């Protein structure tokens, strides 16, 4: 089994070399030598590209291509057809596992179809009503799930429990509304208010950002703004474990944000808070614009660099502290203990910062490296990048059409060179 990747690589290189040799017969005599040199170079390049482990990063590319095909479709595909096609292509890939050339092709095709099938089933699972027409008289009540601080107003997402509006037969599961600056209720609160609601906004131009698609996958069926005062009421039902989790971390995030901005005033404090809590709402518009113009806005998005710094610092200090105790340093696996502490810190940082797509990708890569340290296995960047990409697509397949998923920063998430990550050695 260990020789199979080498056999495949040699077969691919030999096949291309033979094709180039046959093509050289039709060339004029003066170009034969150049054709031979080009053929040899192409054969060497192809042999390197299909060497053991080199084709693995193409697996999430194929998986993401299948997801992209779903978003390019003119209408919603039948879920049963997608499932049947995914099972068929997977069976073909399993049957071709001994074919040096056929197996990579069959596996790539299966990955494309499985990506298409995954997003089809995901869309079916989260299907929810969307507000068909605008309404000025919507009376609704529900639980606040998220809140955002903005420059001129605040914004909240409410999971609707009670909904009453003229000409609306089905209530949306969630609505996103703007409220007066400083009046947003806490996450987890049960609120009631009157609002003007509209259907999700369509793209402003062909091929532009699709607000409706983004809101649909967030299970938000309408957006608008609050009319009058928001009333906080006693909840008639339990909010659930997810709401308690969101309320806990939002309270912690708000407390840390206020503390940081009280000590460091102005935009410096807002940037410092953004790097720790993920809250970028308080940064002023001029500073935001300056960072975008200077191509530094990605620094504010918690991703590979931030996650590596947090995990690396915790790993270093825990290991250095344990090394000061000779009885532990000489008899216990303090390196593995430090990796465990770093993994815990990275997990907490992920949850505190809001678990955005870029943060999820970086966390998966860091977690693979740290778990590798704990089980005495080396982490290879190509494989961690592949696992991170597939993990993100499994959790949120719609992320493939977002800019954050396509960030080149993923290549450098775990630091160092192109093959092995030296950070936690």
Look at residue 114 and tell me if it is in a domain.
yes
On whether residue 384 sits in a domain, the answer given is yes
Looking at the 3D structure of the chain, how many domains does it have?
A: 4
Instruction: Kindly state whether residues 120 and 147 are assigned to the same domain.
Output: no
Give me the pLDDT at residue 261, please.
Answer: 87
Query: What angle is formed at CA 224 by the lines to CA 222 and CA 229, rounded to 5 degrees?
Result: 125
- CA 409, 415, 417 angle in degrees (round to 5)? 105
Give yes or no for residue 378 having a pLDDT over 90: no
pLDDT at 86: 93
pLDDT tens digits for 254-309? 889 889 988 988 888 888 888 888 887 777 788 888 888 887 777 777 777 888 89
Closest CA to 156 of 139, 174, 141, 176: 176
pLDDT of residue 424: 43
Question: Is the pLDDT higher at 362 or at 2?
Answer: 362
pTM > 0.85: yes or no? no
Q: Is residue 423 part of a domain?
A: no
Q: Do 10 and 31 sit in the same domain of this protein?
A: yes
Same-domain pairing of 75 and 42: yes
Q: Check whether residue 220 and residue 247 sit in a common domain.
A: no
Residue 417 within a domain: no
Note whether residue 130 is domain-resident.
no
User: Same domain, yes or no, for 228 and 313?
Assistant: no
CATH number of residue 225's parent domain = 2.40.50
Residue 72 clears pLDDT 90, i.e. is over it: no
Residues 235 and 247 placed together within one structural domain of the fold? no
Position 185 in a domain:
yes
Query: Is residue 52 very low, low, confident or very high in pLDDT (cuts 50, 70, 90)?
Result: low
Can you tell me the distance from the alpha carbon of 264 to that of 280, in angstroms, rounded to the nearest whole number?
A: 15
Regarding whether 214 and 164 lie in a shared domain, the answer is: yes
Residue 63 has pLDDT above 60, yes or no: yes
The larger pLDDT score, comparing residue 362 to residue 34, is at 362
Q: Are 156 and 177 in contact (CB under 8 A)?
A: yes
The answer, yes or no, to whether residue 3 has pLDDT greater than 60, is: no
pLDDT at 221 over 70: yes
pLDDT at 348: 94
Q: What is the pLDDT of residues 111-166, one digit of tens each?
A: 999 999 999 999 999 988 888 888 888 899 999 998 888 777 889 999 999 998 88
**Mean pLDDT, residues 46-55:** 69
Higher pLDDT, 199 or 304: 199
Percentage of residues of the chain with pLDDT beyond 90: 26
Q: Do 262 and 316 have their domain in common?
A: no
Q: Based on the fold, state whether residues 286 and 355 are members of the same structural domain.
A: no
CA dist., res. 368 & res. 391, Å (int): 12
- pLDDT of 25 higher than 70: no
Give yes or no for a contact between 194 and 188, defined as CB atoms under 8 angstroms apart.
no
Q: Which domain holds residue 140?
A: 135-239
Q: Which of 224, 239, 254 is the last residue of a domain?
A: 239
Same domain, 327 and 384: yes
Mean pLDDT check: name the lowest of 6-10, 186-190, 201-205, 352-356.
6-10
Domain boundary among 125, 149, 170: 125
pLDDT-wise least confident of 71-85, 105-119, 180-194, 285-299: 285-299
Q: Are the C-beta atoms of residues 193 and 225 closer than 8 Å to each other?
A: no
User: Residue 48: what pLDDT?
Assistant: 67
Reference 361, options 379, 346, 345, 344; nearest CA is: 346
What's the confidence (pLDDT) of residue 17? 52
Q: Tell me, what's the pLDDT at 404?
A: 60
Predicted pLDDT at 388: 85
Query: How confident is the model over 203-220, as a mean pLDDT?
Result: 83
pLDDT value at position 409? 40
Q: Which of 307, 300, 274 is nearest to 149 (CA)?
A: 274
* 153 plus 226 within the same structural domain: yes
> What would the mean pLDDT of 231-242 be, rounded to a whole number?
88
**Confidence band (pLDDT; 50, 70, 90) for 91?**
very high
Pair (22, 114) in one structural domain: yes
What CA–CA distance (Å, rounded) separates 307 from 17?
45
Q: Does residue 249 lie within any of the structural domains?
A: yes
- The mean per-residue pLDDT over the stretch 241-248 comes to 90
- For 314-348, the pLDDT digits (tens) are 999 999 999 998 888 888 888 999 999 999 999 99
* Residue written as token pair 């606040």: 144
Look at residue 411 and tell me whether its pLDDT is greater than 60: no
Domain boundary among 298, 317, 342: 298
Q: Is residue 55 part of a domain?
A: yes
What does pLDDT average to over the chain?
A: 82
């Amino acid at each position: 089994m260990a020789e199979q990747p080498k056999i495949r690589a040699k077969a691919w290189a030999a096949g291309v070399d033979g094709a180039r040799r046959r093509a050289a017969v039709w060339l004029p005599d003066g170009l034969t030598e150049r054709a031979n040199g080009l053929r040899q170079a192409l054969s060497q390049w192809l042999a390197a590209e299909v060497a053991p482990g080199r084709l693995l990063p193409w697996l999430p590319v194929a998986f993401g291509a299948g997801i992209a095909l779903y978003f390019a479709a003119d209408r919603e595909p039948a879920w049963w057809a997608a499932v049947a096609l995914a099972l068929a292509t997977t069976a073909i890939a399993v049957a071709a596992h001994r074919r040096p050339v056929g197996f990579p092709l069959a596996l790539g095709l299966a990955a494309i179809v499985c990506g298409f099938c995954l997003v089809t089933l995901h869309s079916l699972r989260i299907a929810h009503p969307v507000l068909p027409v605008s309404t000025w008289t919507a009376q609704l009540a529900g639980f606040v799930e998220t809140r955002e601080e903005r420059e001129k107003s605040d914004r909240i997402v409410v999971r609707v429990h009670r909904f009453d509006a003229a000409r609306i037969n089905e209530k949306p599961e969630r609505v996103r509304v703007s409220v007066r600056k400083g009046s947003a209720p806490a996450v987890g609160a049960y609120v009631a208010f009157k609002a003007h609601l509209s259907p999700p906004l369509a793209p402003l131009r062909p091929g532009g950002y699709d607000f409706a698609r983004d809101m649909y996958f967030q299970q938000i069926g309408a957006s608008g703004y609050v009319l009058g005062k928001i009333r906080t009421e006693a909840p008639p039902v339990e909010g659930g474990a997810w709401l308690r989790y969101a309320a806990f971390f939002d309270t912690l995030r708000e407390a840390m944000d206020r503390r940081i901005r009280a000590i460091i005033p102005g935009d410096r404090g807002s940037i410092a808070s953004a790097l720790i809590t993920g809250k970028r709402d308080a940064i002023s518009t001029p500073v935001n614009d300056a960072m975008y113009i200077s191509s530094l806005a990605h620094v504010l998005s918690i991703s590979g660099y931030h996650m590596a710094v947090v995990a690396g610092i915790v790993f270093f200090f825990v290991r250095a502290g344990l090394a000061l105790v000779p009885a532990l340093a000489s008899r216990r696996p303090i390196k593995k203990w430090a990796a465990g502490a770093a993994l815990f810190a990275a997990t907490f940082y992920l949850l505190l910062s809001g678990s955005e797509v870029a943060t999820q990708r970086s966390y998966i890569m860091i977690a693979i490296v740290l778990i590798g340290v704990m089980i005495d296995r080396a982490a290879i960047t190509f494989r961690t990048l592949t696992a991170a990409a597939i993990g993100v697509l499994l959790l949120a397949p719609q992320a493939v059409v977002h800019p954050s998923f396509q960030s080149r920063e993923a290549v450098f998430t775990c630091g160092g060179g192109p093959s092995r990550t030296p950070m936690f050695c």
